[in-house]
Structure 1
């Protein structure tokens, strides 16, 4: 099935992958609901396409706020062709640290619950129309747990399973559910990483690949493809060998450490920096 992608909803639209997708969609003449947390970035995106955008700044894990956003968008522009649940956060995690439990909770709220809250208002309208695309930005990290990154891996692993379930539920209704699993993207969320990032990819290239895949009706996309192959090969190793290999790598910075990125809504519990809406893998 070919999808027109003339009407899109994109969360996490203020930086990294989300911003690149919004820019690419707007350049193609699409109407785009810009959902993010940085008003200045939303303003700059909307200024490039007057009359084809609306800006929203909800907490994606707040179901009522997401329903209000969806209702306003559909009243203005109709049921979207595609909803891209891209908003997410990343950060290191240490189970031994009590403060990190708040990090785990908030990461699940944004990365997992936030996707369900993003999709929920659009499922019935798409089902009634008999078409639509729901795309969740997961991660290669969701395929296997990595030392020091348990919260992020858990959130993305859970997201992959959720999208599988949703795909089975909606296939007969003509709704395509796409799982996008990027590797490492060159954005703010990976800028502080000290470990190897094979296949590091520009967000603009990833955005073009994602929009093309959604237009083609694909259900799975790994970016770049060679990172998926590498992940599959590493998955063939015995767990002890795989763990030993990963333990040699530096850990991802935890909230409050140098190089860490912000987790919106975390507050003082995780000693996080100020919120940012940038989104990337992984």
Structure 2
């Protein structure tokens, strides 16, 4: 198990976030947990109360994230690992005007939320002169758009480009930037999927591979690797053939449909009459 001394994790309520927190706490690290499910995070904190702090900010709220970072820096010092893991998923239909709110909220959490997570720690991490890692959890869905999933794919594609930019900016420093591209993980975000999920990976295994890859300095980590190979193989097909394959798959549930996962901060326009 790679050793990190002080870690910050957003999205600590979900399957991957919880697995990361457990493994880091087991290794002896101090861990700051950010999420919206207080009982879930408290259960994690109970594993090592003296090495865990809990916060419940909206990751798209820059002021709330800055307050969380200020507390962390004051009480524990500069982290050597910041994992921007918070994310939401859901289907999207461009023809339905109410789904524009879904896209806006997804971009706020999945894309803006990564920048608001990194920003308040960045100067302190650079000034410390110590090695540190900034980790953004993207998705193989950011490699190519999929029918009925435009908002999620756009948010993850934007995140991949943002991480590329940040990585280039930080090359002269001792900070590294890591892009994580999971395929299908066995979490609440995939529980409602009715389509095939090749390479489905459990969160504990994914967390272990993620932390090992970051410790090894790998800038691009696909979980599991074989789903990356499959995606790359499909990308070699003519676009029309690729689209035809994807169009034959069931679509991800849209917000407020059966099987959809909640999107924090999203109103319920589909429930209105």
TM > 0.5 fold call: yes
The reply on whether 1:25 has 2:17 as its aligned counterpart is no
Tell me what 1:128 maps to.
Answer: 127
**Structure 1, residues 120-141: CA drift from partner, whole Å, max 9, x if none?**
0111011112221100000000
Matches of 1:144 and 1:216, distance apart in 2: 27
Deviations along 1:19-43, one digit per CA (max 9) or x if unpaired, are 1100111111110001000110111
The separation in 2 between residues aligned to 1:45 and 1:143, in whole angstroms, is 33
Query: Unmatched 5+ residue regions in structure 2?
Result: none
Partner of residue 275, structure 1: none
Q: Deviations over 1:96-117 (max 9, x none)?
A: 1111000000000000000000
- Report the alpha carbon displacement of residue 215 of structure 1 after superposing the two structures with TM: 1.6
Structure scoring higher RCO (CA < 8 A, sep ≥ 6) equals 1
After TM superposition, where is structure 1 displaced by more than 4 Å over at least 4 residues in a row?
none
CA displacement, residues 64-103 of structure 1 (integer Å, 9 cap, x when unaligned): 1000000001111110011000000000000011110000
C-alpha distance in 2 between matches for 1:50 and 1:189:
28
Q: Is the 8 A contact 2:140 2:182 kept in 1?
A: yes
Q: How many residues are matched?
A: 270
Task: Flag structure 1 segments of 5+ consecutive residues without an equivalent.
Answer: 273-282
Match of 2:146 in 1: 146
Task: Tell me the secondary structure at the aligned position of residue 84 of structure 1.
Answer: strand
2:218 match: 218
SS at match of 2:200: coil
Aligned 1:28-39 pairs, distance under 5 A: 28-39=27-38
TM-score, normalised relative to structure 1? 0.94
Superposition CA RMSD, Å: 1.2
**Matched ranges for 1:231-246 at <5 A:** 231-246=231-246
TM-score normalised by the chain length of structure 2: 0.97
The answer for the alignment partner of 1:157 in structure 2 is 157
Secondary structure of residue in 2 paired with 1:20: helix
- Report the Cα distance in structure 2 between the residues aligned to 1:270 and 1:112, rounded to whole angstroms: 24
Partner of 2:189: helix, strand, or coil? helix
